[in-house]
């Protein structure tokens, strides 16, 4: 048992950056498949399956047990836990058949652990509960503790914290009866971990403090991790001094100090102690490079960017932020490549298993047919030999009767011809079997070609839909260009009218009263043109305000440029229509764009009423934010209220669509609150946009949202829980971010 089991690790800084898509060419895929095919696990699996089938054929139970264990371990080693659990179960049944109780318990443990690793928590708990009963009967203390730890781990994974705490308390009671201080300390540490997960930080501090006391009483036990946990728990309680003291104690005894130094730097940065934050962050970067801890180095680069931004050294801040993004993208690509390789290996192993079993089955069938043919040949040969012997016997008996002898010879020739006919019939039957097999293979190829054609047709339909959307966007851009051209022509006309006005003044001086009447008429025309210019100017300013916020538009008009701004708290909304591709395949492209535009027009009106700023639309997604460009304190409530109205608008329109037989539009909405950077990008076609991890997290809230619901993050929930009824969903696994607490707005 290790005292580092289930150590509490909480990151104080958010992860930033977007993972770049990992694109593989056909050459790379072929190289990857070749590399996987050379993996020893594939050949080991094939050999183990051959041994299993041979043992089954020869009815050798012990050999079957050994082969099943080998296959389970191969799958376990390559993290294909579902298949590993299947073979451990098969081995467990064979051990039961042999009456080997020790092997049964070992295999039951392996199966339960594989199910736990495969995230099949209910089945895993059933397995560990059965094992716990067996170990209690046999009074096996160490194995009881192991089972209780696994049961607690399974309940933590599904956020059933009370049940997990109950199991850890049982471990503590067992250890106290055995006077096992190491196990007691580990149980207290895990209880603190569970309390922290429930955000009961005071209880977490109490448990970690009790664990610390046990570690002090037993100097042989290392206590660095408990000091780290105490530091994090005190920080969660808002006690920065206590937190720093414990983290610095942990820092003194660790081989890899980078993580603890990074936590200390984060706390100093949070408390605006920039000098100490910079000092410890530089130490963290050095330690991370020395220990090759790329994740801590990546986070430390991001913290350095924030520190130098506080020091107004923006060049350094930008350099460190670029380093953070580069390293973060590299880590994400490595993780994605590792995941893809593991999935490809699992698919290859499963295919190898199926093909091996199929090949063995085909081999057995062929062997059966061959044996049958040999038997038939031997029978015919024996029959021919008997006929030949009979003919010889008759020839000796009827040597004097030549005529009868000729008859016997004719019978013998007939029998020989019959045997030849039988051999030809046998050869023809073999050829027919081969022809039928080839026919089946051709049919399989035809089905595969048909599937490829269907996939190609679907891809072409999606491409045509994308082209239609791009053409619609181009038409909107052309309309904007025409409006700008109209404005330039109007300005040119004003200039010409001004010149004409000067000519008229000169003419009036020359011709006097004779041209006064004509001059008055021309003055009236000029006034009309001025009014038209004012109308065009008002229209142009209105178009600019439709594209950019008023404050940003004014800054662009007066200064010619707009500086990006950092906002501490902004609430970002992402919406997405589920099944948009299916709707696009049912309705004509024009109707799809029309209905999508009607929804977005309603969303624009809702945003305006709730003081939200529309950022952009991406396909069928709509993005807006509250709290910018003018900061306010009601942005979170405004965002949730607007999201509820969007849900109602979609439901109302779906009722009307159902009445005319149109497909329903199903929506999901995600909201997250955090810091962003906002500004204008581009020099010709201006676009106001926002950046930061808050945008990515809001998108993850939307993608993890049930259909027809509003999914908000824990940060948003803390700002709106007094105004809206919210239901806690627990912690949900989020891509590239780990587990995050989420709430549904009712």
pLDDT band at 22; cut points 50, 70, 90: very low
DSSP 640-669: HHHHHHHHHHHHHHHHHHHHTTPPPPEEEE
718 Cβ neighbours under 8 A, 6+ residues apart: none
Check: CB of residue 170 under 8 Å from CB of residue 178: no
Top-confidence range, 27-31, 187-191, 369-373: 187-191
Tens digits of per-residue pLDDT, 280-325?
888 889 888 888 888 988 998 999 899 999 888 989 889 989 999 9
Distance between CA atoms of 726 and 744, rounded to whole angstroms? 5
Question: φ, ψ for residue 79 (rounded to 5)?
Answer: 65, 25
Tens digits of per-residue pLDDT, 547-566?
667 666 667 666 666 688 89
71 Cβ neighbours under 8 A, 6+ residues apart: 45, 48, 49, 52, 87
> Which pLDDT value is given to residue 10?
31
202 burial (CB, 10 Å; 0-12 / 13-18 / 19+) is exposed
Distance between CA atoms of 10 and 744, rounded to whole angstroms? 24
> Which pLDDT value is given to residue 462?
53
Top-confidence range, 28-37, 170-179, 656-665, 675-684: 170-179
DSSP bridge pairs for 575: 622, 669
Percent of the chain with pLDDT over 70: 71
Whether 364 has a pLDDT exceeding 70, the answer reads: no
> Which pLDDT value is given to residue 260?
84
User: Beta-strand (E) ranges in 476-619?
Assistant: 565-578, 612-618
**C-alpha dihedral, 334 to 335 to 336 to 340, nearest 10°:** 100
Weakest mean pLDDT among 79-88, 210-219, 333-342, 672-681? 210-219
> Which pLDDT value is given to residue 580?
86
Weakest mean pLDDT among 152-166, 360-374, 613-627? 360-374
Question: φ, ψ for residue 712 (rounded to 5)?
Answer: -120, 155
With residues binned 3-state (H G I as helix, E B as strand, rest as coil), the percentages for the chain, rounded to 5, are 75, 10, 15
Q: What is the mean pLDDT of residues 158-181?
A: 90
Q: What is the mean pLDDT of residues 160-182?
A: 89
Whether 247 has a pLDDT exceeding 70, the answer reads: yes
Top-confidence range, 15-19, 533-537, 687-691: 687-691
294 burial (CB, 10 Å; 0-12 / 13-18 / 19+) is middle
> Which pLDDT value is given to residue 334?
86
Q: What is the mean pLDDT of residues 212-218?
A: 78
Structure tokens belonging to residue 234: 């005190």
> Which residue, 707, 703, 693, is CA-closest to 733?
703
Whether 33 has a pLDDT exceeding 60, the answer reads: no
Whether 373 has a pLDDT exceeding 90, the answer reads: no
pLDDT band at 21; cut points 50, 70, 90: very low
Tens digits of per-residue pLDDT, 87-120?
999 989 999 999 999 999 999 999 999 999 989 9
Check: CB of residue 570 under 8 Å from CB of residue 676: yes
> Which pLDDT value is given to residue 622?
95
> Which pLDDT value is given to residue 652?
92
Check: CB of residue 607 under 8 Å from CB of residue 642: yes
Distance between CA atoms of 625 and 636, rounded to whole angstroms? 9
312 Cβ neighbours under 8 A, 6+ residues apart: none
pLDDT band at 5; cut points 50, 70, 90: very low
| Average pLDDT in the chain | 78
Tens digits of per-residue pLDDT, 420-475?
666 665 666 556 655 555 555 555 555 555 545 545 555 554 555 555 555 556 56
> Which pLDDT value is given to residue 668?
95
> Which pLDDT value is given to residue 113?
92
Whether 677 has a pLDDT exceeding 90, the answer reads: yes
Distance between CA atoms of 90 and 72, rounded to whole angstroms? 9
CB atoms within 10 A of CB 197: 19
pTM: 0.45
Q: What is the mean pLDDT of residues 584-607?
A: 89
Whether 395 has a pLDDT exceeding 80, the answer reads: no
Check: CB of residue 510 under 8 Å from CB of residue 485: no
User: Beta-strand (E) ranges in 113-165?
Assistant: none
Map out the domains of the chain as residue ranges.
375-476, 485-547, 562-745
> Which pLDDT value is given to residue 499?
58
Top-confidence range, 176-180, 209-213, 216-220, 464-468: 176-180
Q: Are strands 738-745 and 726-734 parallel, antiparallel or unpaired?
A: antiparallel
pLDDT band at 642; cut points 50, 70, 90: very high
Would you call the peptide bond into 629 cis, given omega within 30 degrees of 0 as the criterion?
yes
Percent of the chain with pLDDT over 90: 29
Token pair 């010879």 is found at 409
562-745 folds as Alpha-Beta Plaits (3.30.70)
417 or 277, higher pLDDT: 277
């Amino acid at each position: 048992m290790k005292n580092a089991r289930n150590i509490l690790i909480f990151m104080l800084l958010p992860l930033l950056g977007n993972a770049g898509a990992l694109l593989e060419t056909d050459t790379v895929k072929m190289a990857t498949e070749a590399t996987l095919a050379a993996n020893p696990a594939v050949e080991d699996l094939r050999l183990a399956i051959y041994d299993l089938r041979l043992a089954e054929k020869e009815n050798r139970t012990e050999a079957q047990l050994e082969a099943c264990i080998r296959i389970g371990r191969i799958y376990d080693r390559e993290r294909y836990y579902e298949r590993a659990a299947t073979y451990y179960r098969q081995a467990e049944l064979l051990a039961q058949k042999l009456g080997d109780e020790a092997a049964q318990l070992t295999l039951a443990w392996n199966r339960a652990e594989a199910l736990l690793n495969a995230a099949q928590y209910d089945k895993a708990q059933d397995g560990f509960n059965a094992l716990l009963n067996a170990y209690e009967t046999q009074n096996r203390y160490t194995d009881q503790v192991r089972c209780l730890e696994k049961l607690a781990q399974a309940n933590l994974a599904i956020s059933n914290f009370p049940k997990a705490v109950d199991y850890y308390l049982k471990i503590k009671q067992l250890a106290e009866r055995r006077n096992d201080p190491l196990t007691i300390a580990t149980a207290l540490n895990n209880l603190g971990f569970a309390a922290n997960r429930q955000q009961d930080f005071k209880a977490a501090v109490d448990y970690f403090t009790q664990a610390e006391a046990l570690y002090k009483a037993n100097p042989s036990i290392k206590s660095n991790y408990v000091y780290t946990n105490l530091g994090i728990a005190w920080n969660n309680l808002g006690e920065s001094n206590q937190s720093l003291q414990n983290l610095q104690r942990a820092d003194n005894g660790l081989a890899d100090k980078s993580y603890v130094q990074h936590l200390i730097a984060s706390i100093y940065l949070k408390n605006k102690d920039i000098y100490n934050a910079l000092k410890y962050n530089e130490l963290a970067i050095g330690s991370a490079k020395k220990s090759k801890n790329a994740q801590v180095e990546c986070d430390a680069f991001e913290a350095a960017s924030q520190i130098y931004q506080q020091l107004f050294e923006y060049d350094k801040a930008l350099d460190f932020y670029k380093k953070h993004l580069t390293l973060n993208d590299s880590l994400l690509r490595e993780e994605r490549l590792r995941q893809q390789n593991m999935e490809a290996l699992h698919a290859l192993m499963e295919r190898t298993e199926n093909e091996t079993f199929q090949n063995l089955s085909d081999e057995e069938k062929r062997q059966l047919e061959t044996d049958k043919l040999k038997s038939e040949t031997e029978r015919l040969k024996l029959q021919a030999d008997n006929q030949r012997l009979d003919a010889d016997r008759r020839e000796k008996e009827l040597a004097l009767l030549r005529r009868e002898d000729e008859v016997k010879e004719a019978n013998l020739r007939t029998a020989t011809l019959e045997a030849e006919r039988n051999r030809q019939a046998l050869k023809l039957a073999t050829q027919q079997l081969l022809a039928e097999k080839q026919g089946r293979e051709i049919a399989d190829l035809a089905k595969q070609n048909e599937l490829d054609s269907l996939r190609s047709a679907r891809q072409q339909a999606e491409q045509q839909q994308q082209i239609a959307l791009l053409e619609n966007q181009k038409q909107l851009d052309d309309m904007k260009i025409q409006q700008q051209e109209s404005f330039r022509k109007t300005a040119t006309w004003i200039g010409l009218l001004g010149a004409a006005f000067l000519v008229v003044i000169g003419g009036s001086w020359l011709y006097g009263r004779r041209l006064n009447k004509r001059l008055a008429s021309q003055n009236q025309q000029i006034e009309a043109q001025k009014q038209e210019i004012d109308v065009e100017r008002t229209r142009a300013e209105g178009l600019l305000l439709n594209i950019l916020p008023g404050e940003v538009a004014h800054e662009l008009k007066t200064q010619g440029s707009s500086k990006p701004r950092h906002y501490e708290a902004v609430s970002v909304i992402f919406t997405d229509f589920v099944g948009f591709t299916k709707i696009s395949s049912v309705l004509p492209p024009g109707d799809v764009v029309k209905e999508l535009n009607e929804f977005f027009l309603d969303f624009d009106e809702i945003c305006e009423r709730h003081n939200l700023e529309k950022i952009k639309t991406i396909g069928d997604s709509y993005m807006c934010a509250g709290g910018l460009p003018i900061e306010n304190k009601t942005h979170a409530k405004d965002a949730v209220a607007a999201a509820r109205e969007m849900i109602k608008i979609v439901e109302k329109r779906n009722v009307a669509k159902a009445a005319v037989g149109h497909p329903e539009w199903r929506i999901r909405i995600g909201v997250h609150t955090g810091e962003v950077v906002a500004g204008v990008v581009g020099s010709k076609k201006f676009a106001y946009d926002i950046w930061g991890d808050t945008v990515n997290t809001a998108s993850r809230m939307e993608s993890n949202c049930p259909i027809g619901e509003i999914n908000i993050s824990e940060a948003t929930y803390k700002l709106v829980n007094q105004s809206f009824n919210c239901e806690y969903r627990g912690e949900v696994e989020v891509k590239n971010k780990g587990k995050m607490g989420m709430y549904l707005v009712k």
